[in-house]
Chains A and B, each alone.
Chain A
């Protein structure tokens, strides 16, 4: 450990001793007493500085905690790993369903146009049979409608979370209200409503038949 020195290089205590020998020097006892008084006078100031600093640090910590909570509610993982891929699957299924239905209807139209019309009774029966197939093909509209509804619901959830994020940025961490599960999703879960299953998911008609 180094020894504190005065400006000319002599240790303080030695300097004070030397000074005490001078005629106009302040006695060492008084210097110590003054130092003690100054220290005592500064103590409340130091304490208040400590408290203020502690409060600042606590506020910062709370803000970080709140921000962390807010960000977890925005849940970007859920958006990017579940909701957006799910939307992609729904849209692909819509494209696929409309394609299948369009092809079915066009095939039927071609078969009717190409059919032998020489026997009116047979032709009539064939047309009737093909009309049934057109009705069946048209069921795609209901399913695509349900898939579009699910895509819209997902967009609404993402919109709500982006709104939360924007408010946090604008208002410097306002408490958000968005939850991970939207009201519509909660309601649908309670009512066992999921909508059409994606390829490879859900139970098949054959499996259902075996249950009845």
Chain B
């Protein structure tokens, strides 16, 4: 009996599937778009509409037949600090980001947002991702260009429900305003950036033999 139990345990242990930490893997959604703001003083608002021109294949989005559109809103300036060199650092309240997957491919910035097509044509389709934007900071140069960065707490959408249940998100990029970049009437800045999706905390399945191999070298 003891021999049988030992054999069964060994067999079980050698075939069981275990959860292992996966190697860090950064996925990307690259986007372009336009933002508008009421100003850069405390209480002013910032809104952004964008469209992705690259999405990691793992998410199963085919940009040739559907679009991925972004809308960030509810961002309110908390304060700004002159950090020298003609650059101002602006901090924002918590905001929201929504990304929609839309086969209609009908996004239209129009002019002077909000308007009849913006943001409405950016928030139709299926909700791909929603998140709470936190820690958003902009560095604004005296020429109107600058950089922004922040992080996100994912709250919903098919991306989270599917391949990204435990991901960590960061949002960043550059903006240009009054620097020669093309602007649409009524929008105050052109925005170009990436949403980085870090899968470092996800898990992979592995056989017990694979687990042992990790520690045998």
Q: Do A and B come from one complex?
A: no
User: Which A residues fall within an 8 A CB radius of B?
Assistant: none
User: Which B residues fall within an 8 A CB radius of A?
Assistant: none
